Structure 1
Amino acid sequence: MHPMMSNRATLTPPSAPRSTWGIYWSGDHDAAAAALPNLIYGLRAGYATANLPDKPALAYALSRTLWAAGSTLMHLRHNDAASAATRWAVRLAAESNDPWMHATVQGSLAWQLMVSGRYTESLRLTDRAAASIEPDGSAPASHLSAYGSLLMQSGNAAARAGNRAAAHDYLDAAAEVAQRVGEDRNDYSTTFGPSLIAMQAADVHIALGDYDRAVRAAATMPNQGAALPTMAGCRHLADRALAHLRLGQPENALPLVATAVQSSPNWAKHQQLPKVVTRELLHTTKQRSPVLRNLATTLGVS
């Protein structure tokens, strides 16, 4: 059993799940991993002993915390423990009387399947979750946000499976939902809106090998990505760096990846993408600048 999944019980403040997600989105996965066990233990104890009327609220809080644990463990490459935590979160979310939350946590499980290369399973899961909450014309923004996030996750999985037409269809559908939402939101600890569409459009085009289109998609980012949480912004910078590198523009790639690493060194330490970009820069750049040398040292690549 992974340390995050232990049985010791402690007292957990009501705001703990929300603050844990704040740590997660900062990119400091080591700090999130350190904070999560006590939160899980306390919420488990409360859920186990709660009276029936209190169960849904505690199921919701424990589900959100286990979901954060699963996402963190995935970044730390504990894939089996990540899957166990997130599947548990999905079951609890079903008890929370919030179908949008339940669908969104399923989208996180689909992301894990995608990262593991299980694209067909990932796409099947997000399609099913999206269908379960498909909004009508009067849906509130939080409902649209949950639905749009699932469409975008489907687009990512389709792109990685090499299904260009489906990836573009999902991307277009998610962009239409974002236009209806009209602003960047963070419902259920999940970012959605125009900034997320620009970020994920670039990612989808990179997965399909369309690097020119990725650069053009990134150029549509509102306010230079100010609405994105730190980790998402860092990933977008690394994506942009990779696109420029593939287009033979290392001079554009270096400042982007350097900014990503500087913004969240702990995130970069656990990610392959900034390391891949830095390693390629070392082998393609004729003159290794101090910035590149420092970057390579920070990431431990050569």
Structure 2
Amino acid sequence: MSADESRAFGMRIAELRKQRGMKQEELAALLGRTASWLSQVERGIQPVNRLDVLRMLADGLGVPIQTLRPDTPAPASVPVEHVGVPNDLDQARLTISGYPVPDVLLAANVAESVVDVGELQTAVDAVWKLAHGSRFAELSSAIGPLIPRLERAARTAQGSDQPTLWLLLSRTYQALSAAFVRQDEPDAAWLAADRSISAAERSGEVLHVFAGVYRLAQAFVRLKHLDQGEHAATTAVNALRQYVSGATANPEALSVLGSLHLALALVHARSGSRADARREIENAREIARKLGVDRNDLNLEFGPTNVDIQAVSIAVDLGDAGEAIDIGERINAEQLSIERRARLAMDLGRACAQRRQSGEALAYLLEAEKMAPELIQTHVAARNAIRELILIAGRTASPELKALADRADAQP
């Protein structure tokens, strides 16, 4: 978009906003951005070249994308076969709806549960393996019977086992929250994160409370409640910083603290606050240097490599595609989970799409899909990138790109 086009586009945004009686602050809050960012858009200083940002503005103003950019192709009608298709996590969403074990509350005398803690530990570890592998349908099936068992056992088992059972329940809800975030189910992710925090507190494992807050902040970001995400992460960071500054600092606490800084970087990136996002990435990188190695404490996969992967994602969110590619192509993520490796490939695909490098973008997205099909076919950012590639290619779209768009239900 040229400078003249950016100014004309910005004037169109400002006119539509005023027609709806909205102040800049009101529209910016609706979009999950800052008023400063919107002001720069309306003055033509901040160009809008990404399809997902264009969609966001159109949705906020209640107009078709073509009203903002007449050259954007009209969306095709939604094929009948895609209407009402179940989400991979529908069963898990149903499982956590309502109070988990109401009969326990009503029973006059509840018999103590006899549980095999080792078996439940294995089951929870398996759930996290599915989460790290982005195998959402399998995770949803496993969650169905596991959560009610853990909820009942934590309340009725022998006293010596209860802290461990509450911790296992917290870890299970954390895995579920992470999965819901990746499948763009942020309301369910919020609920699961909140339950994980409550269970962690009852377990006495304080760091798992903070890990739950990290999951909560992620949910707030997906809900575009950026002020809540910032508040949740900042209060946790402030408390943890005092904890790790003394002799009690340990690798697990550093991993949680570093992950919370990454959550804050995401909050600032989504609000368009470039300087704040970069500051939080550097805070996380400093903590990763103290650790020195990649770890998976509390299933956070925090370490130097993951910080770089998140830096790629943040750069893409900020529209700094060249920087994202420069960082991403130097990363060796072979020691991390499939989900992390697939996320890196997906973000490199998004960066190449921003630079109109369609061949490279498609290659990265196909690589990500090969590693984690459910991630690339359901992640909102991936689907937006695929739609953008389709729009760029138009009638010249390759069969491989069209097939990927069909698999991800990402036809524009």
TM-score scaled to structure 1, two decimals?
0.92
Corresponding residue of 1:205: 315
Amino acid in structure 2 at the alignment position of 1:256: Y
**Bigger shift: 283-292 or 62-71?**
283-292
CA distance in 2, matches of 1:42, 1:99: 23
Say whether residues 1:185 and 2:295 are aligned partners.
yes
**Displacement, 1:146?**
1.3
**Matching of residues 206-285 of structure 1 within 5 Å:** 206-221=316-331, 223=332, 225-285=333-393
CA distance in 2, matches of 1:35, 1:80: 21
**Matching of residues 84-163 of structure 1 within 5 Å:** 84-134=191-241, 135-136=244-245, 138=247, 139-163=249-273
RMSD of aligned residue pairs (Cα, Å): 2.2
**Bigger shift: 258-267 or 40-49?**
258-267
**Bigger shift: 156-165 or 79-88?**
79-88
Corresponding residue of 2:176: 69
Q: 2:146 aligns with which of 24, 35, 39?
A: 39
Going from structure 1 to structure 2, the CA distance change for 1:79 and 1:197 (only over 3 Å counts) comes to closer
Residues 73, 79 of structure 1: 8 Å contact kept: yes
Deviations 1:250-277 (A, max 9, x none): 1211100111112211222321222222
Residues 90, 106 of structure 1: 8 Å contact kept: yes
Amino acid in structure 2 at the alignment position of 1:294: A
Q: 1:164 aligns with which of 274, 277, 288?
A: 274
Corresponding residue of 1:27: 134
Say whether residues 1:4 and 2:111 are aligned partners.
no
**Displacement, 1:14?**
2.2
Residues 17, 64 of structure 1: 8 Å contact kept: yes
Going from structure 1 to structure 2, the CA distance change for 1:167 and 1:74 (only over 3 Å counts) comes to closer
CA distance in 2, matches of 1:79, 1:149: 19
Amino acid in structure 1 at the alignment position of 2:390: L
CA distance in 2, matches of 1:65, 1:239: 27
Residues 25, 229 of structure 1: 8 Å contact kept: yes
**Displacement, 1:174?**
0.4
Corresponding residue of 2:398: 289
User: What SS is found at the alignment partner of 2:410?
Assistant: coil
**Displacement, 1:130?**
1.7
CA distance in 1, matches of 2:313, 2:140: 27
User: What SS is found at the alignment partner of 1:183?
Assistant: coil
Deviations 1:122-152 (A, max 9, x none): 1111111122222126522222111111111
Structure 1 gap segments, 5+ residues each: none
Amino acid in structure 2 at the alignment position of 1:55: Q
**Displacement, 1:77?**
4.3
Amino acid in structure 1 at the alignment position of 2:178: S
Going from structure 1 to structure 2, the CA distance change for 1:78 and 1:238 (only over 3 Å counts) comes to closer
Amino acid in structure 2 at the alignment position of 1:200: Q
User: What SS is found at the alignment partner of 1:132?
Assistant: helix
Q: 2:304 aligns with which of 181, 194, 200?
A: 194
**Displacement, 1:245?**
1.4
**Bigger shift: 73-82 or 275-284?**
73-82
How many residue pairs match? The answer is 300
**Bigger shift: 67-76 or 269-278?**
67-76
**Bigger shift: 243-252 or 117-126?**
243-252
Structure 2 gap segments, 5+ residues each: 1-91, 105-112
CA distance in 2, matches of 1:234, 1:46: 36
Amino acid in structure 2 at the alignment position of 1:291: E
CA distance in 2, matches of 1:220, 1:179: 17
Corresponding residue of 2:409: 300
CA distance in 1, matches of 2:198, 2:340: 27
Residues 184, 379 of structure 2: 8 Å contact kept: no
Deviations 1:58-84 (A, max 9, x none): 111111112222232344444333322
**Displacement, 1:15?**
1.6
CA distance in 2, matches of 1:18, 1:267: 20
**Bigger shift: 73-82 or 266-275?**
73-82
Bigger CA radius of gyration: 2
**Bigger shift: 139-148 or 34-43?**
139-148
CA distance in 2, matches of 1:247, 1:40: 44
Deviations 1:268-296 (A, max 9, x none): 23212222222222222374333223322
Deviations 1:221-269 (A, max 9, x none): 1x2x112311222222111111111112112111001111122112223
Identity %: 24
Amino acid in structure 1 at the alignment position of 2:200: A
User: What SS is found at the alignment partner of 2:301?
Assistant: strand
Say whether residues 1:174 and 2:281 are aligned partners.
no
CA distance in 2, matches of 1:4, 1:214: 38
Amino acid in structure 1 at the alignment position of 2:365: V
Corresponding residue of 2:4: none
